[in-house]
């Protein structure tokens, strides 16, 4: 594994970690791996990258722009179009590596990156196989919430707060941040908060490179993000959606599967929650994923 730097279409530096099988002779198939939204490349995506490299794939995990080691200021800014373009930028980079077969490149997106890789595949035919794990549709999650929990009134209140903060920042105020994993929990905390806390705020998944919290003024950018609109146009390239049966986010995988055209596959992991599939290797269906990417 080695640190690499590449550039997206607007010239921003994107920092990643490239994993190459030991004693490998190319060209080999490759997989771009996106981390959960708000996370960094050392969290979750590294678990998948190491496994894929051990099985003969070149794997590239990277920090999204505005997060981790990658360029972008103000930090933790939400710009969905750039997040999507970075997937294609990673393909650009892999295409320059002698060890990589540029005609056999796939993508795997975890949590929010699931939506980013699907959006990228709709406009980048170089991505030959696309898988998501514990996917979040960050557009629907912000517009409607889990299970439709966000009302129109809630949405307008969020927009008002974000625009008030944007105006204040233009006039010199410090950024404010929203959502992300909670910094503290107690017995009254909801199960989802406890789940994210257990990963991001404990040694299990903690990284000093991220707070997981996007800026309040930019997070509303997700309300204009529609990654499922043309899912059927990814066909005839294969897509796979992996989700735990106990995941609060499983509705997004169900929705995507219904919208996608064949060839497609939905893998439900019995008893697994959303965050379980970030790093619980005994639960992650690597056999299914390896079989899927074997189609590259």
Residue 82 has φ and ψ, to the nearest 5°, of: -70, -40
Domain 2-147+224-293 annotated CATH 3.40.50.1820: yes
**pLDDT given at position 26:** 83
**pLDDT given at position 113:** 98
3-state DSSP assignment of residue 270: coil
CA pair distance 181, 199, nearest whole angstrom: 9
pLDDT tens for residues 62-121? 999 999 999 999 999 999 999 999 999 999 999 999 999 999 999 999 999 999 999 999
And the tokens for 13?
Answer: 């530096």
**pLDDT given at position 198:** 98
pLDDT tens for residues 195-242? 999 999 999 999 999 999 999 999 999 999 999 999 999 999 999 999
Q: Classify residue 83 as left (phi > 0), alpha (psi -120 to 50) or beta.
A: alpha
HEC string of 51-79 equals: HHHHCCCEEEEECCCCCCCCCCCCCCCCC
3-state DSSP assignment of residue 45: helix
Cα 84 to the center of its chain, rounded Å: 10
Q: Classify residue 220 as left (phi > 0), alpha (psi -120 to 50) or beta.
A: alpha
Q: With contact defined as beta carbons under 8 Å apart, do 96 and 24 qualify?
A: no
* Distance, first Cα to last Cα, the chain: 22
Question: Shortest CA distance to 193 belongs to which of 209, 212, 207, 210?
Answer: 212
Position 169 pLDDT exceeds 90: yes
């Amino acid at each position: 594994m080695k640190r690499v730097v590449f550039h997206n279409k607007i010239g921003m530096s994107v920092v990643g970690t490239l994993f190459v099988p030991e004693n490998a002779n190319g060209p080999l198939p490759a997989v771009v791996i996106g981390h959960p939204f708000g996370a960094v490349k050392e969290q979750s995506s590294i678990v998948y990258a190491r496994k894929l490299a051990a099985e003969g794939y070149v794997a590239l995990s990277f920090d999204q722009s505005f997060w981790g080691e990658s360029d972008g200021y103000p930090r933790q800014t939400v710009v969905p179009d750039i997040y999507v373009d970075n997937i294609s930028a990673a393909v650009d980079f892999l295409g320059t590596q002698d060890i990589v077969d540029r005609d056999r490149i796939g993508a795997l997106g975890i949590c929010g990156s699931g939506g980013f890789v699907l959006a990228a595949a709709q406009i980048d035919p170089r991505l030959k196989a696309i898988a998501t794990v514990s996917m979040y549709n960050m557009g629907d999650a912000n517009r409607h919430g889990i299970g439709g929990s966000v009302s129109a009134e809630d949405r307008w209140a969020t927009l008002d707060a974000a625009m008030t903060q944007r105006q204040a920042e233009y006039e010199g105020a410090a950024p404010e941040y929203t959502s992300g994993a909670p910094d503290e929990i107690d017995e009254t905390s909801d199960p989802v908060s406890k789940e994210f806390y257990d990963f991001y705020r404990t040694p299990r998944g903690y990284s000093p490179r991220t707070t997981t919290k996007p800026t309040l003024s930019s997070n509303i950018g997700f309300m204009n993000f529609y990654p499922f609109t043309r899912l059927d146009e990814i066909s005839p390239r294969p897509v796979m959606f992996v989700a735990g049966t106990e995941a609060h986010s499983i509705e997004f995988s169900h929705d995507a599967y219904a919208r996608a055209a064949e060839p497609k596959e939905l893998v439900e992991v019995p008893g697994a929650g959303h965050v379980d599939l970030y790093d619980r290797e005994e639960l992650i269906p690597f056999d299914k994923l390896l079989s899927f990417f074997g189609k590259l």
